[in-house]
Amino acid sequence: MTTDRTHRNRKRALRIAHFIGLFIAMSIICIPGLWIVLNSFRPTVEIMAKPPVWIPNELNLDHYRAMFGGNGQGGVPVLTYFRNSMVISVTSTIIALLVGMGGGYAFARYRFKGKAALFVGLMATRAVPGVALSLPLFILFARIGIIDTHFGMILAYVAMNVPFTVWLIDGFFRQVPRELAEAAEIDGCTRWQAFWRVEFPVARAGIASAGIFAFLTSWNEYALASQLTRSVYSKTMPVGLLDFTSEFTLNWGGMCALAVLMIIPALILTFLVQKHLIAGLTFGGVKG
List, in sequence order, the alpha helices (H) in 132-186. 134-144, 150-175, 178-186
Decide: is 114 part of the binding site for other proteins (CB under 8 A).
no
Residues 143, 147: Cα–Cα separation, whole Å: 9
Q: Which of 198/255 has CB closer to other proteins?
A: 198
Residue 186 binds to other proteins (criterion: CB under 8 A): yes
Binding of other proteins at residue 280 (CB under 8 A)? Answer: no
Residue range at the interface with other proteins (CB under 8 A); choices 22-30, 112-120, 184-192, 238-246: 184-192
- Is 287 among the residues that bind other proteins (CB under 8 A)? yes
**Residue 148 binds to other proteins (criterion: CB under 8 A):** no
Q: Give whichever of 106 and 180 is closer to other proteins, judged by the CB atom.
A: 180
Q: How far is Cα 83 from Cα 90, in angstroms, rounded to an integer?
A: 10
Instruction: Give the dihedral sign, CA 191/197/199/204.
Output: positive
Q: Under 8 Å CB-to-CB from 252, ≥6 apart: which residues?
A: 39, 44, 47, 48, 244
Question: Does residue 179 belong to the site contacting other proteins (CB under 8 A)?
Answer: yes
**Under rule CB under 8 A, residue 187 binds other proteins:** yes
**What torsion do the CA atoms of 284, 98, 184, 277 make, to the nearest 10 degrees?**
10
The least distance separating other proteins from the CB of residue 184, rounded to whole angstroms, comes to: 7
Minimum CB–partner distance for residue 213 and other proteins (Å) = 23
121 binds other proteins (CB under 8 A): no
Nearest to 176 by CA among 187, 186, 184, 165: 184
Q: Which residues of 160-197 are buried (b: 16+ CB within 10 A; e: fewer)?
A: bbbbbbbbbbbbbbeebeeebbeebeeeebeeeebbee
Closer CB to other proteins, 190 or 274, in the complex? 190
Residues forming a β-bridge with 245:
250
Q: Rank residues 78 and 181 by Cβ distance to other proteins and give the closer one.
A: 181
Among 188, 246, 248, 249, binds other proteins (CB under 8 A): 188
User: Does the protein bind other proteins through residue 275 (CB under 8 A)?
Assistant: no
CA-based nearest residue to 83, from 235, 256, 270: 235
Count of residues near other proteins by CB under 8 A: 23
Interface region with other proteins, contact rule CB under 8 A, candidates 70-78, 141-149, 208-216, 279-287: 279-287
Nearer to other proteins, 51 or 188 (CB): 188
Q: Please report how close the Cβ of residue 215 comes to other proteins at its closest, in angstroms.
A: 24
The answer to whether residues 191 and 105 touch, using CB atoms and an 8 Å cutoff, is: no
Report the interface residues with other proteins, using CB under 8 A. 177, 179-180, 182-190, 193, 197-198, 201-202, 282-287
